[in-house]
């Protein structure tokens, strides 16, 4: 092998700064999408269990459509097709902010929320139905029963699978490079293009992704050890 390894390319200088910038964008993209996907998934989960059939059918169609459509297709759709379905004011705002970033957030949020909704629904179904019956008999509406009694318990129980979804979202954020979002994979590709040091560039990106994944997994482990076991012991 005549290849000369040069790790200084990714550990110092402007190319290192590119990678650091990419990590910053990846973390920002992941955090924003995680927060929005959880909120949207919570809403869809409630709709999925609604006693009103039109709402139930809409939520069911939402889940089936977005869970069975590739994420890359959804990213391209929101990047190239958002002008056709979003209000002009929204599109103009996205352009003024960062259109590529906004399109990636929308795609990641909608895609992940469909899976989060099912996780939350599974958590709700694990709560004894007598609790809902007791809440309704006490004068609580369906929405208030879900808000104050059922969902707080369900979300706590579904934290481990939710963190797995957040982990998947963080890794899926690498697809945002296809529409020009300057996240970690985009910057690694840029370093490779300028230096022809593909092994070093993508090895650095791999190490960062593994580190982020271990961080999220660590949070899940801490949650299980510090919260779930004590609660079960009671």
pLDDT (tens digit per residue) in 104-117? 999 999 999 999 99
Q: Enter the pTM of the model.
A: 0.87
pLDDT band at 223 (very low <50, low <70, confident <90, very high): confident
Q: Are 102 and 128 in contact (CB under 8 A)?
A: no
Cα–chain center distance at 173: 8
What's residue 233's pLDDT?
A: 47
Quick one: DSSP state of residue 49?
T
Judge whether residue 203 has pLDDT over 70.
yes
Mean pLDDT of all residues in 10-35: 94
What's residue 73's pLDDT?
A: 96
Cα dihedral 165/116/172/106 (nearest 10) = -150
Mean pLDDT of all residues in 45-55: 88
What's residue 143's pLDDT?
A: 78
What's residue 234's pLDDT?
A: 47
Contacts 24+ apart (CB under 8 A), 206-214: 208/19, 208/23, 208/26, 208/184, 209/170, 209/171, 209/174, 209/184, 212/26, 212/27, 212/30, 212/170, 213/167, 213/170, 213/171
pLDDT band at 205 (very low <50, low <70, confident <90, very high): very high
**Of the given ranges (30-34, 39-43, 109-113, 146-150), which has the lowest mean pLDDT?**
146-150
Mean pLDDT of all residues in 172-181: 96
Judge whether residue 206 has pLDDT over 60.
yes
Positive/negative CA dihedral, 117, 123, 129, 133: negative
Judge whether residue 190 has pLDDT over 80.
yes
Tens digit of pLDDT for each residue in 131-143?
Answer: 888 888 888 887 7
Quick one: DSSP state of residue 51?
S
Judge whether residue 10 has pLDDT over 80.
yes
Q: Are 187 and 18 in contact (CB under 8 A)?
A: yes
Round the average pLDDT of the chain to a whole number and report it.
Answer: 89
**Of the given ranges (58-62, 79-83, 177-181, 192-196), which has the lowest mean pLDDT?**
79-83
**Residue 74, token pair as written in the block:** 């959804």
Residue position matching structure tokens 């007598």: 130
Mean pLDDT of all residues in 73-77: 96
Judge whether residue 232 has pLDDT over 60.
no
Q: Are 56 and 45 in contact (CB under 8 A)?
A: no
Instruction: List, in order of start, the domains of the chain with CATH numbers.
Output: 8-233 (1.10.3720.10)
What's residue 229's pLDDT?
A: 57
Least Cα distance to 106 among 126, 77, 135, 131 occurs for 77
Q: Are 18 and 208 in contact (CB under 8 A)?
A: no
What's residue 184's pLDDT?
A: 96
What's residue 227's pLDDT?
A: 60
């Amino acid at each position: 092998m005549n290849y000369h390894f040069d790790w200084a390319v990714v550990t110092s200088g402007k190319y290192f700064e590119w990678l650091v910038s990419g990590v910053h964008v990846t973390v920002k993209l992941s955090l924003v999408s995680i927060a929005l996907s959880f909120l949207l998934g919570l809403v869809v989960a409630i709709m999925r269990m609604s006693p009103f059939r039109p709402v139930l059918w809409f939520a069911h169609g939402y889940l089936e459509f977005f869970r069975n459509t590739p994420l890359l297709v959804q990213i391209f759709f929101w990047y190239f097709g958002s002008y056709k379905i979003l209000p002009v004011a929204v599109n103009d705002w996205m352009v003024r902010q960062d259109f590529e970033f906004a399109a990636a957030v929308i795609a990641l949020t909608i895609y992940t929320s469909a899976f989060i909704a099912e996780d939350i629904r599974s958590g709700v179904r694990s709560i004894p139905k007598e609790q809902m019956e007791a809440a309704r008999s006490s004068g609580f509406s369906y929405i208030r029963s879900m808000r104050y009694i059922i969902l707080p318990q369900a979300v706590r129980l579904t934290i481990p699978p939710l963190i797995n979804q957040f982990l998947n979202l963080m890794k899926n954020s690498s697809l945002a490079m296809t529409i020009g979002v300057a996240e970690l994979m985009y910057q690694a590709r840029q370093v490779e293009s300028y230096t022809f040091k593909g092994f070093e560039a993508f090895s650095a990106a791999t190490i960062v992704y593994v580190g982020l994944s271990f961080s999220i997994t660590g949070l899940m482990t801490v949650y299980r050890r510090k919260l779930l076991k004590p609660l079960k012991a009671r």
